[in-house]
Amino acid sequence: MNNSEIKINKAIDDLSTKLKDLDLENLSISDYNKRYLKDYIDKLSFFMPLYKTLLEKVIRNLQKPVSESCFVDYGGGCGVLTYLAVELGFKKVIYNDIYEVSTKDVKVISSAINLKVDYFITGDISDFISYITKNNIKVDHMCSFDVLEHIYDLEGWFLEIKKLPKPFSLCFMTSANSSNPNINRKLKKIHYKAEYVGSKKKKGWKERDSNLPFLEIRKRLLAKEFSNLDEKKITILAKTTRGLYGKDIINYAKKQLEENHFKEYTKHPTNTCDPLTGNWAEHIIDIKNLKNRIENKQTTVRFTNNFYSESSNKILNFPKKVINFLMKILGEQNLFLSPSYTLEIQYKES
């Protein structure tokens, strides 16, 4: 075991103890984050090895020691990666999420477990960049776990992030790995459900997320905007605007009506996003295309695989061991068998 592995293991052990001791039920946080964090606490042996893999990749991408580096948990949710980064001893730790409820909750949780988070930033990438710029913060590493597949405008996101002072690195891990055919099938089922079926509101539901089928929401938005159109035309527009949100839905519909040409906005057959927030339902990202758009002389981009985490279940561990072994042979950039992938980027000084 190398030095950073020992440190990560210790951070995981220390945080796991604190989380298990936490009186979650009596914390003054949302039901959503109570449910979310409880799920993590109940499955620590599943989630912690995933965070461990991610943090190992973070450390190998860092230009400076952990104790001199500023770490960002982008889209931090209930904050587990943030707490781990504090435990690991990063010089500064920044928590971000687009959902204000989570930012408020993580302030409460981090103080309950006695871990000092340096900055809390609510908002999307533009809010993040303006906060960082205004406060003159030097970011060394941007990290996220299961966020990439939810960001509405990926191209715009990567244009914004380039505004940070270089050098810095980025590691975004996501389980929406469509290069694995089994996962690809599951992701498409999730798209189908979001687009046509919807979901029920239950205790701990994230208030930001829509319950109605996305197609139905787009129909209602379009019917309100274009009250002169018949239902057939509205349905056509609702279908062709899949993958868009808010004003983008209306603008794309207007363009189609003006040109009298109706074509699906997205080329992907199932990808869909929440029409009220832009949050993708597990976006299947064209990673080759994304790499081509980001990579240049100063920016290196890699998509790397991750191993299956083993549990106490010996029967289930056997196939995982076999697949992990095969993945080692196939090499780090082969995503076919992988349960997830990590986007690793180095932004170098020009």
Q: Which residues lie near ligand SAM (CB under 6 A)?
A: 74-78, 80-81, 96-99, 102, 124, 144-147, 150-151, 279
Q: Which is nearer to ligand SAM, 79 or 213 (CB)?
A: 79
Q: Which helix (H) or strand (E) holds 249?
A: helix 247-259
- Provide the minimum distance between the beta carbon of 77 and ligand SAM in the complex, in angstroms, as a whole number: 3
Q: Which residue has the tokens 């914390």?
A: 27
Report the residue number whose CB is nearest to ligand SAM.
Answer: 77
Measuring CA to CA, which residue among 170, 138, 173, 174 is closest to residue 346? 170
- Provide the minimum distance between the beta carbon of 346 and ligand SAM in the complex, in angstroms, as a whole number: 22
Q: How far apart are CA 15 and CA 80, in angstroms?
A: 9
Q: Which is nearer to ligand SAM, 35 or 348 (CB)?
A: 35
Q: Which is nearer to ligand SAM, 156 or 319 (CB)?
A: 156
- Provide the minimum distance between the beta carbon of 44 and ligand SAM in the complex, in angstroms, as a whole number: 13
Strands (E) across 167-296 are located at: 168-174
Q: Which is nearer to ligand SAM, 77 or 339 (CB)?
A: 77
Q: Which is nearer to ligand SAM, 39 or 68 (CB)?
A: 39
Residue type present at position 119: Y
Q: Which is nearer to ligand SAM, 75 or 243 (CB)?
A: 75
Q: How far apart are CA 261 and CA 241, in angstroms?
A: 13
- Provide the minimum distance between the beta carbon of 143 and ligand SAM in the complex, in angstroms, as a whole number: 9
> Which pair of tokens denotes residue 212?
């109605």
Q: Which is nearer to ligand SAM, 82 or 304 (CB)?
A: 82
Question: Cα 45 vs. chain centroid, distance in angstroms?
Answer: 21
The answer for residues whose C-beta is within 8 angstroms of residue 191's C-beta and 6 or more apart is 270, 271, 272, 281, 282, 284
- Provide the minimum distance between the beta carbon of 261 and ligand SAM in the complex, in angstroms, as a whole number: 31
**CA distances to 13, 198, 344, 349, 350 from 166, in Å:** 33, 42, 15, 5, 8
- Provide the minimum distance between the beta carbon of 45 and ligand SAM in the complex, in angstroms, as a whole number: 16
- Provide the minimum distance between the beta carbon of 123 and ligand SAM in the complex, in angstroms, as a whole number: 7
Q: How far apart are CA 275 and CA 23, in angstroms?
A: 37
